[in-house]
Amino acid sequence: MAAPGVGMVTSVSFIGTCNAQRIMNTIHYRMNVAWTQGTVSAYYTAFFNQIKPAGAFDICTTFLDMLSNHYTLDDLRIQVIHPVRYRSALFHIGAAGAVNDGCSAQNVCLSIEKFTEFSGRSQVGRIHVGGLGTSGYADGFVAGATRIKAAIWTDKLFLPVFEDQGPGDNRPVIYHPKPNTQTKTNDIVGFNVKDTLRTQRTRNIGKGE
């Protein structure tokens, strides 16, 4: 596979399981500096080594910190999806959530708003995180400690994957996949962890909006 270039969009999917229910969350990144270290396959491996637990830009540990030990982050799936869609690569994690209590409703989700500097519905999205422990919420509201942990995770998402302005420098974006959309990505400028819960239909758990 050819080397990825500036403007390519990479999707990173957190694929997990909680109480036998599959849960998936996807984050998109846009490449701002060309990858010069090899093929797409080499890029996938290098990207994973950056964001895996204990990697230089670890976005997994803080994700697991807010979830029940009934949740397992099984895999990370990494795929270049724009302007050319390449085959994805699956990397095994197999790590459990760090909150030592059960999850009684895996479709009860923490809702995190992501937004760009522009107005309009297309400039706002949601990340719905299922697998919260029973101590993570009460009476329809997210516990303060859980919101703090979620804010720490979203701060990690802001870090550029790979060295800042170095080969493969990637930034989080909202991706617009519709064919007639001229601007395919806009930089995410902030995240807002909501204090109220979101109950998802089981077929949509964790996929966001």
Question: pLDDT digit string (tens) for 101-122?
Answer: 999 989 899 999 999 999 999 8
What confidence tens digit (pLDDT) does each residue in 67-107 have? 999 999 999 999 999 998 999 999 999 999 999 999 998 98
The predicted pLDDT at position 123 comes to 94
Residue 146's nearest CA partner among 129, 167, 123 is: 129
The predicted pLDDT at position 163 comes to 72
In 39-161 the beta strands, taken as DSSP E runs, fall at 71-82, 89-96, 108-115, 124-129, 137-138, 141-142
The predicted pLDDT at position 208 comes to 41
| N-term to C-term CA, the chain | 31
Beta bridge partners of 15: 24, 75
Q: Which residues of the chain have pLDDT under 70?
A: 1-2, 164-165, 180-182, 202-209
> Rounded to an integer, what distance in angstroms lies between the CA atom of residue 23 and that of residue 74?
10
CA dihedral (55, 15, 113, 197) in degrees, to 10, reads -120
The model scores a pTM over 0.85 = yes
Element (H, E) at 24: strand 21-31
Angle, CA of 21, 26 and 31, to the nearest 5°: 160
